């Protein structure tokens, strides 16, 4: 019997012995446990980040309002139409947060 | 119809389908563990390494680009794990200054002791190459990809390993005959 045959026969016998034992269940359980821990950590970090961002929303909106006083109201077409920019700082802040959130989602690792 | 490894990897990556990865684990666990047992000579360590390799493969699945077969990628991860474990073990043994431990690792009862000894006498690279090509049925190219070594080097390692194994087995039998 050649060395190659000896090795492949031994390997085949060993492989057969491993079919259907508890290894697969153990390994899959470990993968799922790790995945749950990772999701929990990502969820906790996301919630904390969201809370911090929300606490700054009002302050940022006020800062934008103060920075853009001239845009409070804008006359268009010889005052035929008046566009109210009163909500612009709130809108700008929301868009800014959405932009930051989107950028974070783009660079954050995938599901694993 | 049974899905190929690449199909399953694509599903696991794109759809975040954990069932697809489960199938990959079921398909490759037995050959991987058999390979690691013969590589390390220790069944418990081999199972730990195999589990770690699957976990790392799952985490790094997005990095798998399909340039090699899934099994050679998986075996490459497992071999890196085995090398790291070997280094840690060597460091630990040096720290203990050889007190206790050591000795032949447990071999499954049905495994030829001759072959076990002969395999243990090979270098780590020779053992990897011989086990991948002659035991696990890898092509030389697949083994080269798994070992991150040039194809010619793998062919040489396999040839050298076979020669050494043949010589060791012959010597073993001659000794046994002389004692009989």
Which residues of chain B does A16 touch, with a Cβ-Cβ cutoff of 8 Å?
A: 30
CA distance linking residue B75 with residue B34, whole number of Å:
11
Give the structural domain span for B127: 112-180
Could you read off the pLDDT of A34-44 as tens digits, one per residue? Answer: 888 888 888 88
Q: What is the DSSP letter of B156?
A: H
User: Could you tell me if B105 and B137 lie in one domain?
Assistant: no
What chain A residue is nearest to B54 in terms of C-alpha separation? A27
Candidate from A24-33, A58-67, B24-33, B71-80 with smallest mean pLDDT: A58-67
What chain B residue is nearest to A111 in terms of C-alpha separation? B16
CATH number at residue B130: 1.10.10.10
- pLDDT recorded at residue A111: 46
Where b means 16+ CB within 10 Å and e means fewer, A59-96 reads ebbeebbeeeeebeeeeeeeeeeeeeeeebbeebbeee
Q: Given a cut of 80, is residue B87 above it in pLDDT?
A: yes
φ/ψ (deg, to 5) at A84 = -90, 120
User: Could you tell me if B120 and B136 lie in one domain?
Assistant: yes
**Is the CB of residue A18 less than 8 Å away from at least one CB of chain B?**
yes
Confidence of residue B100 (pLDDT cuts 50, 70, 90): very low
Closest to B41 in 3D by CA, of B134, B85, B105, B137 = B105
Q: Given a cut of 70, is residue A108 above it in pLDDT?
A: no
Q: What is the DSSP letter of B42?
A: -
At CB < 8 Å, which residues of chain B contact A? Answer: 16, 18, 21-22, 25-26, 29-31, 33-35, 37-38, 47, 50-51, 54-55, 58-59, 61-62, 108, 110-112, 115, 130-131, 134-137, 162, 165-166, 169
CA distance linking residue B155 with residue B9, whole number of Å:
29
Where is the domain boundary, B69, B88, B110?
B110
CA distance linking residue A75 with residue B10, whole number of Å:
56
The interface predicted TM-score of the complex, written ipTM, equals 0.80
Nearest by CB to A7, from B54, B110, B135: name it: B135
CA distance linking residue B144 with residue B153, whole number of Å:
8
Confidence of residue A112 (pLDDT cuts 50, 70, 90): very low
Candidate from A65-69, A103-107, B80-84 with smallest mean pLDDT: A65-69
CATH number at residue B99: 1.10.1740.10
- pLDDT recorded at residue B154: 96
Percent of chain B with pLDDT over 90: 56
């Amino acid at each position: 019997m050649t060395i190659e045959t000896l090795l492949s026969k031994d390997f085949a016998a060993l492989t057969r012995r491993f079919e259907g034992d508890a290894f697969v269940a153990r390994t899959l359980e470990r993968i799922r446990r790790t995945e749950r821990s990772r999701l929990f950590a990502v969820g906790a970090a996301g919630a904390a980040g969201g809370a911090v961002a929300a606490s700054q929303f009002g302050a940022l909106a006020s800062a934008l309002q103060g920075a853009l006083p001239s845009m409070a109201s804008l006359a268009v077409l010889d005052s035929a139409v008046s566009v109210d920019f009163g909500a612009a700082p709130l809108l700008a802040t929301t868009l800014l947060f959405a932009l930051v959130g989107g950028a974070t989602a783009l660079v954050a690792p995938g599901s694993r | 119809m049974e899905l190929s490894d690449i199909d399953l990897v694509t599903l696991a990556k794109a759809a975040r389908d954990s069932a697809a990865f489960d199938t990959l684990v079921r398909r490759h666990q037995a050959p991987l563990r058999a390979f690691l047992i013969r590589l390390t000579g220790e069944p418990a360590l081999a199972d730990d390494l195999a589990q770690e390799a699957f976990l790392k493969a799952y985490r790094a699945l997005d990095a798998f680009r399909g340039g090699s077969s899934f099994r050679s990628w998986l075996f490459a991860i497992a071999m890196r794990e085995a090398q790291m474990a070997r280094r840690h073990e060597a460091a630990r043994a040096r720290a203990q200054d050889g007190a206790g431990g050591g000795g032949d690792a447990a071999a499954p009862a049905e495994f030829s002791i001759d072959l076990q000894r002969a395999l243990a006498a090979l270098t780590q690279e020779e053992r990897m190459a011989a086990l991948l090509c002659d035991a696990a049925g890898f092509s030389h190219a697949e083994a080269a990809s798994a070992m991150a070594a040039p194809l010619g080097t793998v062919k040489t390692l396999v040839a050298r390993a076979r020669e050494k194994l043949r010589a060791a087995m012959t010597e073993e039998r001659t000794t046994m005959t002389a004692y009989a």
